[in-house]
Amino acid sequence: MSALAERLEAFNDKLIPAMVQLKYKHMAESAFRFLRGTCHLFYEDLSKAKDFPSSPNTWISGDLHLENFGSFKGNNRMVYFDLNDFDEAMLAPAAWEVVRVLTSIFVAFDTLKIDKAEAKKTAKLFLSTYSEILACGKAYYIDPRTAEGIVRSFLKSIKKRKESDLIKKIADEKGDQFKIKIDNRTHFELDKKLRAELISHLTEWLKSKNGWASDYTVKDAAFRVAGTGSIGLKRYMFLLQSNKNKKKYLLVEMKEAAPSSLAPYNIVNQSDWASQAERVVTLKHRMQNISPALLSPNVFNGDIYVLQEMQPLADKISFESIATKNDCLELVIKDMALLTASAQIRSGGIQHSAIIDELMAFGKQTTWQQPLLDYAINYSKQVTKDYNQFMADYKSITASAGT
């Protein structure tokens, strides 16, 4: 077993074994998918980096890359485009968030065989926009009214999308009811007893709520797989139907909350959270302009979960689809940089994070930018090296299993 395989095994040994194999299968798709599934490797290596530029401590999402921006509906039922994954969120150096995005740009461009000069140009654009927004000290947000270019079209299409059309893609009609489609890719069938317990649990939770959500009845539940890094955690999705309008449905998910993979390598003192779910939920509320509907910690069978209205997989802009469209790419990268800086500004000065003045001063500095760019370029090569080693290990294991 290679040293890399040992690191991966040590990190994933607490996850659902069958799902870990699925996680590895997804990671084998490309170096970019591998990067998405190995956040822990990234920060383990970053924590050992010499002469990495210092930066103010702020709240970061922790696993920010090109495909961890997406859309969702808030409790106000408006659609927003924002950072959308906070499983790893912690108080950490601001530059840690930025350098992970930059690395993802270089790895993604290399995966798509796009010229290295274009990758560098795109990374510099992210850096300059992020610095500019941070320096002005004002947090922005993106919704259908403020979005431009492809993000505007993307959000408008989601806003206009009929709920019934989405449900038909996810669920099958059986008599007068809908059942979640089991495709054994993203939706997996649950044990009957567990399914009944989950439905009962969410039903009781809904009864305790006031407002529009209490109008819904839980109709079905399934195991859900989404993303890459979180595959292997317990994650359930629910199909709900309105009691007043039988043609109106709602999708909800409940995802196990695990410790941040940054934690072993982050020396910054952290808040004393009541639970991992409390950490994720609080930092979503703190860093996003408006958070997903129903967002709250939840306890089921002794395990801690984050519950929220479900974001369909399609509600992400595919980087692959825009990477070669220069005008589209430029606008999206600027939006991503704007949102990254805005999340840090919005959460500034809370529980020992840097105040806005410190973040503004950091944004105005230029000495840290080239070292971050250099680190991202060099580390993207390490990702490729690790991916090649992973593939050699993976092929060896699958070949042995086949015999």
How wide is the angle at C-alpha 366 spanned by C-alphas 365 and 367, nearest 5°? Answer: 105
b/e burial code for range 207-246 (CB count within 10 A of at least 16 → b): eeeeeebebbebbbbbbbbbbbbbbbbbbbbbbbbeeeee
Task: List, for the chain, all residue ranges whose pLDDT scores fall below the cut of 70.
Answer: 159-164, 175-176, 312-318, 321, 324, 326, 400-403
Burial of 83 (0-12, 13-18, 19+ CB in 10 A): buried
pLDDT the model gives residue 93: 98
The domain spans of the chain are 3-159+324-402, 162-309
Q: DSSP letter string over 107-118? A: HHHHHTT--HHH
In this prediction, residue 88 carries a pLDDT of 98
- Cα angle, residue 31 at apex, residues 398 and 261 outer, rounded to 5°: 90
* 294 in Cβ contact with 77 (< 8 Å): no
Backbone CA torsion sign across 22, 233, 64, 69: positive
Task: State the virtual CA torsion across 380, 287, 309, 199 in degrees, nearest 10.
Answer: 90
Residue of 101, 47, 94, 64 whose CA lies nearest to 263: 47
What is the model's pLDDT at position 169? Answer: 83
What is the value of pTM for the model shown?
0.93
Q: How far is CA 84 from CA 30, 52, 148, 233, in A?
A: 22, 27, 19, 17
- Sign of the dihedral through C-alpha 266, 269, 272, 278: negative
pLDDT computed for residue 21 by the predictor: 94
Nearest-angstrom CA–CA distance, 301 and 155: 37
Cβ distance 245 to 52 under 8 Å?
no
Residue 403 pLDDT: 41
